[in-house]
Amino acid sequence: MISIKNPIMLALDVDSDQQAFSLLDQVGGLVGAIKIGPRLNLKYGASFIEKAAQYSPVFIDNKYFDITSTVLASVQASFDSGATFATVHALNGFETLSQLYALELKLNKIRPFKILAVTILTSWTQDQFPENFKNQTIEEHVSSLAELVARSGLSGLVCSGHELSLIRRTEDPTSRLFKVVPGIRIEEDLISNTQDQKRVMTPTQALESGANALVIGRSILNSKNPRQTVQKILETI
């Protein structure tokens, strides 16, 4: 069972290790987890992940999507580098997801680790879907993928806050999923939002809709006082 001290997962979307650790010195001990994507972990490797994990649990967000053996090896490498969470695409399909569940069980005998299956990116809107996706709505895709993830045995899901109500009200295993929601903005950032994520929510809205963890990046990264911003978010949720 994964336990984080609060639902904030800091999206560490910066360009250098110097920027990263400058920010972590301010807020690394306050947040529940630290999300690190290819932008940093491909540049600095496992030693960077290991050092970041000294602040809070690390969430490696490379969204692995490949043949089964490659996805399994990539998740294993994420675990070996010190991560507590790692993402794969739910679109990998049932066979791969089932084998990932078996790997997750094995790794949890060593230490807590959770695989998070990504549904539909928060940067997509209905009209931006690839042509072969457009015969279903975003909501239908997310519901179908959430059911697939639950059937595989995995219990970690990444989706927009806008689809949480569909998952939460179901009477099937998707209702037990650990739901991670990206695209989280504080209120003032929602008003002026011109960024690439389209399906966004405030922290309070997402938690009330059933989120278990919140991926927050720009609202903290662009703040003049990141520590104060994190404390403010914690006070409101």
pLDDT in tens, 82-99: 999 999 999 999 999 999
Q: Is 69 exposed, middle or buried (0-12, 13-18, 19+ CB in 10 A)?
A: exposed
Q: Is the pLDDT of residue 189 over 60?
A: no
- Cα three-residue angle 97-38-150, rounded to 5 degrees: 20
Alpha helices in the chain (DSSP H): 17-27, 38-52, 68-80, 94-107, 138-152, 164-168, 187-191, 203-209, 218-221, 226-236
pLDDT in tens, 47-72: 999 999 999 999 999 999 999 999 99
Q: Is the pLDDT of residue 199 over 50?
A: yes
Q: How confident is the model at residue 100 (pLDDT cuts 50, 70, 90)?
A: very high
Query: Chain-wide mean pLDDT for the chain?
Result: 90
Determine if the pTM surpasses 0.75. Answer: yes
Inter-residue contact 135 to 106 (CB < 8 Å): no
> Would you call 63 a catalytic residue per the annotation?
yes
Q: Which helix (H) or strand (E) holds 216?
A: strand 213-216
- The pLDDT of residue 193 is 52
- The pLDDT of residue 134 is 66
- The pLDDT of residue 24 is 98
pLDDT in tens, 150-181: 999 999 999 998 888 877 554 455 557 899 99
pLDDT in tens, 111-156: 999 999 999 887 777 777 777 776 788 888 889 999 999 999 999 9
Residue from 35, 63, 114, 179 carrying the catalytic annotation? 63
Direct distance between the N- and C-terminal alpha carbons of the chain, in angstroms, rounded to an integer: 22
Here the tokens at position 18 are: 């110097």
